[in-house]
Amino acid sequence: MASVYAVAVVMVLFHVGALGVFFTGVSTATLVVAGTLYVIRGLGITAGYHRLLAHRSFKTSRPVQFLFALAGCLAVQGGPLWWVAHHRSHHRNTDLEGDVHSPVTRSFWHAHMGWMMSREAFQEKGANSRDLHRYPELKWLQRFYVPLIAGQAVLLYALGAALNALFPEWGTSGAQMLVWGLFLTTVVTWHITFAVNSVCHTWGRRPFETGDASTNNPVVGVLAYGEGWHNNHHMYPFSARHGLEWWQLDITWWLLRGLEKLHLVSELKLPKAYR
pLDDT of amino acid 2: 53
- For residue range 59-88, list pLDDT tens digits in order: 999 999 999 999 999 999 999 999 999 999
Please say whether the beta carbons of 230 and 205 come within 8 A: no
What average pLDDT score do residues 92-103 get?
95
For residues 10 and 160, is the Cβ–Cβ distance under 8 A?
Answer: no
Q: Write down the mean pLDDT value for the chain.
A: 96
List Cβ neighbours of 124 (8 Å cut-off, separation of 6 or more).
82, 85, 86, 89, 100
Number of H helices, E strands in the chain: 13, 2
Domain ranges of the chain: 2-270
State residue 115's pLDDT score.
94
Q: What is the CA radius of gyration of the chain?
A: 19
| Predicted local confidence at residue 1, as pLDDT | 54
Q: How does pLDDT run across 166-183, given as a tens digit for each residue?
A: 999 999 999 999 999 999
Residue 123: per-residue pLDDT: 78
Output the pLDDT for position 120: 84
φ and ψ at residue 266, rounded to 5 degrees = -155, 170
- Strand spans (E) along the chain: 59-60, 265-266
Which region among 44-53, 118-127, 182-191, 221-230 has the lowest average model confidence (pLDDT)? 118-127
Q: What is the DSSP letter of 274?
A: G
